[in-house]
Amino acid sequence: MSISTAASSAVFAVYEPVIGLEVHIQLLTQSKIFCACSTRFGDPPNSNICPVCLGLPGALPVLNREAVTMALKAALALNCRINPRSRFARKNYFYPDLPKGYQISQYGEPLAEQGALEMDIGGASRSVGITRVHLEEDAGKSLHEGFPDSDEKSYIDLNRSGVPLIEIVSEPDLHSPDEAYQFLTRLKTLMLYLGVSDCNMEEGSLRCDANVSVRRRGAASLGTKTEVKNLNSFRFLQKALTFEIERQIEVLEGGGTIQQETRLWDSREQRTYGMRSKEFAHDYRYFPEPDLLPLLISESWKESIRRSLPELPHLRKARMMREYGLGEQEASQLTGSPALADYFEEVAKASGEARLSANWILGDLMFRLNERRQDITQTPVSAVALAELVSLIAEGTISGKMGKDILAEMFASGQRASQIMAEKGLQQISDAEEVGRVVRQVIAANPKQAEQYRRGKTATLSWLVGQVMKATRGRANPQVVQEALKKELGPSAPA
């Protein structure tokens, strides 16, 4: 996946990039963080609103316990120290989609600090520090396009205002765009396992900013950093980081200095550019939110959440390798999302064929899903249905080739494998007598090739197998065909 290393390996030998990520993750609570409004995505604009999330005069926030529970899950899974007492703070700035003129966030006293995310980088296990995890509310959305009068007006949708977020800040422990990509992927997988977010970058439930600097390898101090924003896909993250690292190196190589600034990634022009200082020169004037009491996390609450944590990705991977005899690569891919791992385990258990199940899921099933731009949660082929197909293949009722065709049909029609086979007469022919009849026909029709085989040209056998398969439209069991041909043709020996 690495784009960067090939392009600039020479300068990378001299410079070391230093990257830290700030990741915003939308929590999957039913209601907003400070009011009872629904968090549903995609509802008509301004339909999930109330005095609190509209920031009407006199309205007051009341903390949603569910949001705290989810944030604690995330923080504990990231091995953070949970602060028994944390505080909300106001981050003050004017923006039309920020209805109160401040965002309720956490600042000096966050929910959790000092965690770590374990990763495999280049085959070696590495720990990336987590500086902090804190809770905050989302702002609304400004809509600048798509209305007849968009040239003169902007519209505001406040459905998202007050949706709970956690911000996860990493230490500057990442040293290439590829590592940053892997970190974010890991983090996403972890959040999916915890069930605290759907981490959908398109819908904005996972957002990422990056702090980037470069320094000469071996240098003790960090270089001046820039903050890169607008990284709304995993691909953009890598591209933007690559661009920004190369830009900084170029500036330094040219004898210049790096300006500490916020830069936006422009995906059309494939570059970052600095925002005019006015746009980001905010003094947020943080101060403790007087409308909320300090957030107290009891030891017993913390421990009950810790006990409720699901099996985390690295443990599940190890267990699946052990339990199903999967290879590292397969297990890694299958545990990439909890839904995929669940799906695999269901297929494997129902079919009793773990390895074959893994092959079919990671092969044909994923291929077909990718083709349709769907993920495992949207598959039209249920785990039970795939297990049936896998069983049919395992017991030799159908060939692998037939399996592929049937799976395609299952995708198209939603029917079960057995139904499709019955309708299309697709039973594999394994009956020796039936196969023998076709084999005799094929030999009779191809005397020259039969003769070549008998004279010792054994390679001809596979051509003859092909002819039999053709005659049976692929339904014959290739194993049985081979046996039957050998029997009918007699020994193959040089003259």
Where along the sequence are the contacts to another protein (CB under 8 A)? 51, 54-63, 90, 92, 94, 96, 99-102, 156, 283, 285-287, 290-293
DSSP bridge partners of 129: 116
CB of 54 to another protein, least distance (A): 7
Nearer to another protein, 14 or 56 (CB): 56
CB of 158 to another protein, least distance (A): 8
CB of 33 to another protein, least distance (A): 12
Query: Which residue is listed with tokens 């039936």?
Result: 434
Q: Which two tokens stand for residue 339?
A: 């839904």
> With contact defined as beta carbons under 8 Å apart, do 229 and 267 qualify?
no
CB of 297 to another protein, least distance (A): 16
CB of 173 to another protein, least distance (A): 28
- The SS3 assignment for 120 reads strand
> With contact defined as beta carbons under 8 Å apart, do 356 and 387 qualify?
no
Nearer to another protein, 94 or 373 (CB): 94
Nearest-angstrom CA–CA distance, 148 and 191: 39
Q: Which two tokens stand for residue 267?
A: 């995906």
CB of 93 to another protein, least distance (A): 8
CB of 174 to another protein, least distance (A): 29
CB of 210 to another protein, least distance (A): 24
Nearest-angstrom CA–CA distance, 139 and 73: 23
Nearer to another protein, 251 or 292 (CB): 292
Amino acid type, 471: A
* Separation of first and last alpha carbons in the chain: 56
CA 107 to each of CA 49, 81, 103, 173, 304: distance values in angstroms, whole numbers, following the listed order? 26, 16, 11, 22, 26
Q: Quick count: other Cβ atoms within 10 Å of Cβ 131?
A: 17
Nearer to another protein, 58 or 123 (CB): 58
Nearest-angstrom CA–CA distance, 155 and 143: 5
Q: Which two tokens stand for residue 402?
A: 């037939």
Nearest-angstrom CA–CA distance, 296 and 143: 38
Nearer to another protein, 156 or 471 (CB): 156
Nearer to another protein, 33 or 376 (CB): 33
Nearer to another protein, 56 or 384 (CB): 56
Nearer to another protein, 57 or 254 (CB): 57
Nearest-angstrom CA–CA distance, 265 and 13: 25
Q: Which two tokens stand for residue 256?
A: 């210049």
Nearest-angstrom CA–CA distance, 465 and 476: 10
CB of 108 to another protein, least distance (A): 10
CB of 207 to another protein, least distance (A): 23
> With contact defined as beta carbons under 8 Å apart, do 221 and 32 qualify?
no
Q: Which two tokens stand for residue 386?
A: 């795939």
Query: Which residue is listed with tokens 């970052």?
Result: 272
CA 142, 147, 153, 156 torsion-angle sign: negative
Nearer to another protein, 96 or 256 (CB): 96
Nearer to another protein, 268 or 278 (CB): 278
Q: Which two tokens stand for residue 251?
A: 């500036």
